[in-house]
Chain A
């Protein structure tokens, strides 16, 4: 079945550091790929998405490229801020009668001043 593997956390970075959170997936067909972010005490919200191979999703300085050959969708940001501290979830979506979304276990990011 579908699965998502993302790097263990927590990840602690200094402000303005470069961020990479690795995500790889296993899926049948041609899934869409997502990064969701969860700020403390809140629900998940979509950060970015890509719907086909080689697509790049971007939002708020974050980027991720859908790499079919390596089955990866790594999240990157060039310069993190304290306000980026949150839990980041990689996910894949496959249509099969409903919008089935498989989530990774989440990576907690802490950015220190």
Chain B
């Protein structure tokens, strides 16, 4: 039982490049989330999903897109990376009204 996994762990992009972060969970959770963590700001919700095929905007969605084609996977895309998107990204999953379980994070640097 791996829990929540994220790939890659680290990535460096140039401004304007694109990339996709993958989150996978093996706990059969309905809900999945993408957060970003910046110094002094806690975690902020980017997008979330309440089930396969559904996505919704969180607190800071601009510049990101997501997809949930399979229940166990939640993808976060950056179409044209900007330095302001330098951050640590965390994926989480949960049952409908329960504790969120977090992945180990992806550290992204945009030059």
Q: How many residue pairs between the two chains, A and B, have CB atoms under 8 Å in the bound complex? A: 46
Asked if B56 and A34 sit within 8 Å, CB to CB, the answer is no
Q: How large is the interface on A (under 10, 10 to 19, 20 to 34, 35 or more residues)?
A: 20 to 34
- Interface hits, A65-113 → B, CB 8 Å: 89, 95, 97-101, 103-106
Chain A residue contacts of B31, Cβ below 8 A: 98-99
Question: Would you call B74 an interface residue if the criterion is a C-beta within 8 Å of the partner chain's C-beta atoms?
Answer: no
Give complex CA distance A83, B95 in Å: 30
Asked if B50 and A89 sit within 8 Å, CB to CB, the answer is no
Chain A residue contacts of B97, Cβ below 8 A: 95, 99
Asked if B40 and A44 sit within 8 Å, CB to CB, the answer is no
Question: Would you call A46 an interface residue if the criterion is a C-beta within 8 Å of the partner chain's C-beta atoms?
Answer: yes
Asked if B50 and A46 sit within 8 Å, CB to CB, the answer is no
Chain A residue contacts of B40, Cβ below 8 A: 105
Chain A residue contacts of B96, Cβ below 8 A: 99
Give the interface of A toward B (CB within 8 A).
4, 34, 36, 41-46, 49, 89, 95, 97-101, 103-106
Of all chain A residues, which has the CB nearest B6?
Answer: A43
Chain B residue contacts of A36, Cβ below 8 A: 102
Give the interface of B toward A (CB within 8 A).
4, 31, 40-43, 45, 48, 50, 56, 90, 92, 94, 96-105
Asked if A89 and B48 sit within 8 Å, CB to CB, the answer is no
18 A-B residue contacts at CB 8 Å? A34-B99, A41-B104, A42-B105, A43-B90, A43-B102, A43-B104, A44-B102, A46-B101, A95-B97, A97-B50, A98-B48, A98-B50, A99-B94, A99-B96, A99-B98, A103-B42, A103-B43, A105-B40
Chain B residue contacts of A101, Cβ below 8 A: 45, 100
- Name the distance in Å between A51's Cβ and chain B's nearest Cβ: 10
Choose among A43, A44, A49, A98 the residue that contacts B56 (Cβ–Cβ < 8 A).
A98
